[in-house]
Structure 1
Amino acid sequence: MELSQSCEGQIKESSEPEVIKILFLGGIGGGKSSTINTIVGHTECETGDTFIVGKQITEKTQIVTYKADRVLQFIDTPDIEELHQDKRFNELRRQGFHAVILVIPVKEHVRNMKMLSQLGKLLGSDCLKFLIVLLTFKENLKDSSLEEFIEILELDLKNFIKRCPKRIVEISNSDLSLEHSRSQREFFIKALEEVLQETKGDVITKPSRIQNRVKCCGYLLMNLLLFVFKLFVLLSFLLYLFINYYGDIFLFIADA
């Protein structure tokens, strides 16, 4: 009897749908909350516009669950520069995320975004394979192309986006109709599936202190070896010049 109960428990556990945790990161007013609402097809996250610099609508990390073949947990977050102080985010980060969505708004006034340094601090340098670049406010492009918008971004951010050509998703949150939400959701899910296939179910968590120290030591060692190599080349070159110009003098003194 005990054995059958144990097997029954295992069947119940295995029949539970897989939960995919999707982290949305970005700055104030980038459209993280609006995008989640568009994908799920109704309003779950509070949204709005603010004219006060530094004021954000989403003040705490929240989870929106969308059930399909799998359970998708969309994790809406405050401004990326203040996220390290969010207690709930830090708890979720320890559990890990299956995909990371970097939200960049297509707005002319949004230029100076320090997202990459914050992204590295939060998730480490290995987050690229988990990453999808999501460009919101697609309607603002009008007659301009996506390539033209990318060209006006900061150099580091522009080069970073160009490294993810197959992971760029454009989205417009201005239309909340069911048909529009369905089409936007399909584009997003397609990019998400590519990430999940590549990562094979792995999750990304906060880099441990040991990992950070190993990477730091590796970086220092690489630079030290590079310095030694350059010093060796310089000394070899100086020795060559010395022998070339003063070698005859020493030979003359030796013969004398």
Structure 2
Amino acid sequence: MNDCVFRLSEVSFSYKGVAALSGVTLDLPRGRRIALLGANGSGKSTLLRLLDGLHFPEAGRIEALGAPLSAAALADEATAIAFRRRVGFVFQNPDVQLFCPSVFDELAFGPLQLHWPRERIRGAVTRMLDAFGLTALANRPPHRLSGGEKKRVALASVLILDPEVLLLDEPTAALDPQATDDIVTRLETGFGAQAADRTLIFSTHDLDVVARIADHVVVLEAGRVVAEGPTASVLADTALLRRTRLLPAQAIPAVG
């Protein structure tokens, strides 16, 4: 069995001529909790979008789950459906992802697209509503929820399909401390039959979140991978973290 969920070889991508990723070569191992760590503009979100097949490299090659990940590959409907079933993506801004008239409908949308039987859908949605503390909100329009509630709905709507790989773009962005702790705890716990073996890949610049969730870290700077390794060793490298703007350049003197 392939021990990597994604393999990238010399991958580059740009937006209107501005480089976002430059020559990224990277293996992302299966069954790990991997943090893509970097300051704003380092290329984290772009990398996640490439891994989800929302963008495709201008140069280089990506393999996903042992097969090429390209526009040509996903043009085949059966291949695209199989890929979307196995790889789930949660956007940084849940408003981009939530569009159904109720929370119940949001959770049911993915299973409906995969033609699950109605009773299976109803049972799965009911279980996910309970697991994510959303039962009382089942009939509420998502746009009327708080930021933390929207994040929970977005995460539940992806995890209901029990994907092998879960991609998350800044999962705690714009959340207050309590909502952040709730999301992080849910990611630590995992959901579904594949929870123990699921690969989690998430972007962040929050070192506390990395310390709680990740067992492997990839550090990006200006569209390039500048470090990679076990969480403890990367977080212990304060010179690296300062150079990549993840820690202040120098400590601020205490007042008084």
Question: Which of the five TM-score ranges fits, normalised by the shorter chain?
Answer: under 0.3
Higher percent of residues as helix:
1
Larger radius of gyration: 1
Q: TM-score, normalised by structure 2?
A: 0.28
Higher relative contact order (CA 8 A, sep 6+): 2
- TM-score computed with the length of structure 1 as normaliser: 0.28
